[in-house]
A and B are shown apart, each in its own frame.
Chain A
Amino acid sequence: MGKQQGRRIDRHTAEQVLRGARVDAPDALTGLLAAAAAPPRDGELGGERAAVTAFREAARHAHARRPRSPSMIKSRWAKLLTAKVAAAVGAVFVLGGVATAAVTGALPLPAGGSAPAPSTSRPAPSAAVPPATPATTWTRDESGPAHPPAPSPSLVGLCHAYRAGDKAEHGKALESPAFTALVTAAGDKSKVDGYCESLVEASPPPHATGSPAAPPSAGRPDNGKDHPAGPPDSHPAGPPDTRPTGPPATHPTGRPTR
């Protein structure tokens, strides 16, 4: 498949690949990154409603109090990356516009801003909590939030991803959150190999069911609507201590999608 299977990419090529440049890199690798950076699907914007609610709340509070200046912001951020390619950013917005049409068409929003604010508590795993967003439903065809993905296809998928990995790395791979479900299903890390073997052999060829798009977890209804601005114990984003002062690199931001 790859033009250069067996040849390792060098640092320069890696850098080009990361910038989305078309380079002489293995097709599978560039394909993988392109897939990872593919345009958003509707399901990926499921939290928009909650975010907009939070935005409104924050705007309301801003009238009451002066916004404190967060310590995380440094003016040098302003200098950062100013010359990045505007066209690429524009492309992102175009994609966003497409998604917008899809999402807004499906999402009449309450005009009064009275929707419950999103939770600030630790959520339950979203597969177990269908987002009972009042009144509005997500037009996300039949795989709506009421149907958490059936476990078996995804486990089969996990097994494929796991077995695709380097055997020597399997132990480490299983520490990844992505494989937790697999380890859980197998019972133990040491049993994953055997489990996958039997599972993959027992299962029919993969098809497009069990789409892993998670149910949109917007608008978790399970708690109050006050203090949307105060997630407890928030101490995110102390100022990044490395200083991005140099000249911006010239790679386009929105990765060109192919």
Chain B
Amino acid sequence: MDGDPAAVLGRAQRGDEEAFRALYRAVHPGLCRYLRILVGQDAEDVASEAWLHITRDLASFRGDLDGFRAWTATIGRHRALDHLRHQRRRPVADAPAEWFPDRPAPDDTAGAAIEAEATDAALALIATLPRDQAEAVVLRAVVGLDAKAAAAVLGKRPGAVRTAAYRGLRTLADRLGGQV
């Protein structure tokens, strides 16, 4: 809708509200799914806090859209870790559904709901991994970062992130293989 992503980012940085909306729509879902790995259903709230920060510093950001995704993920991650520190005692109620990859849709109208559930269930299953593995998998496969960018977000070396993601996938494959 807004043409070239780099232009959208630049326009948003100069204060163009429509461009900012486009940017938000492109970035927020992945960011929020990543945060769900960290804070469960509080992800939307944490993401809101992250967006306050992002909007405040948006004008000074330097980089392209991929850099922007990584930057926002870094901000979101710090907010999430703060949140966890403050909210340890409060139960986090998440509401994932079951992961049934082969389950047929009961009917057409339920199809969309099931797709939505599949996303939630997939994230819930990924969230059962050790956190470093879960983060690595989601930053790469959902947010769309490469190993280096994901490593920057996590404050690790790319090799460590590759290994964590690999172990995570292996565990997931085992669990899925054992389920059906």
Contacts and interface: CB of A to CB of B under 8 A. Distances in A.
B67 A51 contact: no
A19 B49 CA distance: 29
Nearest to A180: B92
Interface string A170-212: 0011001111110010000000000000000000001110111
B24 A177 contact: no
Nearest to B112: A41
Contacts of B115: 35, 38
Given A51-B48, A166-B175, A236-B74, A241 B155 contact: yes
For chain B, the bracket of interface size reads 35 or more
A81 to B, nearest CB: 4
Given A45-B29, A47-B47, A120-B52, A93 B93 contact: no
Nearest to A12: B166
Nearest to B33: A36
Given A9-B173, A55-B20, A253-B144, A120 B49 contact: yes
A129 B4 CA distance: 38
Contacts of B93: 125, 127, 151, 180-181, 184
A54 B49 CA distance: 10
Interface string B164-180: 01100111111111111
Interface in A83-99: 84, 86, 88-90, 92-94, 96-97, 99
A59 B45 contact: no
Interface in B62-109: 62-67, 69-71, 74-75, 77-79, 82-83, 86-87, 90-102, 106
Interface string A52-84: 101111110110000111101111011011101
A113 B118 CA distance: 37
Interface residues of A, number: 138
From A19, A40, A48, A237, name the one whose CB has the most chain B CB atoms within 10 angstroms.
Answer: A237
Contact of A52 (B20, B95, B121): B20
B97 A1 contact: no
Contacts of A112: none
A89 B5 contact: yes
Given A18-B165, A212-B117, A52 B21 contact: yes
Contact of B67 (A31, A78, A164, A180): A78
B59 to A, nearest CB: 5
A181 B177 contact: no
A153 interface: yes
Contacts of B158: 242
Contacts of A50: 48, 51
Contact of B118 (A38, A151, A153): A38
A224 interface: no
A103 B1 CA distance: 14
A212 B95 contact: yes
A211 B116 contact: yes
Contact of A81 (B29, B125, B149): B149
Contacts of B146: 81, 84, 248-249, 251
A90 B6 CA distance: 10
Interface string A11-33: 10011011110000111110111
B122 A45 contact: no
A59 B5 CA distance: 20
A59 B1 contact: no
Contacts of A210: 95, 97
B116 A69 contact: no
A212 to B, nearest CB: 4
B52 A82 contact: no
Interface of B: 1-2, 4-5, 8, 12, 15, 17, 20-22, 24-26, 28-30, 32-33, 38-42, 44-45, 47-53, 55-67, 69-71, 74-75, 77-79, 82-83, 86-87, 90-102, 106, 110, 112-131, 134, 137-138, 140-142, 144-149, 151-153, 155-158, 162, 165-166, 169-180
Which 8 A-B residue pairs are closest in the complex by CB-CB distance?
A: A160-B98, A236-B78, A40-B29, A240-B152, A253-B144, A96-B25, A154-B95, A28-B176
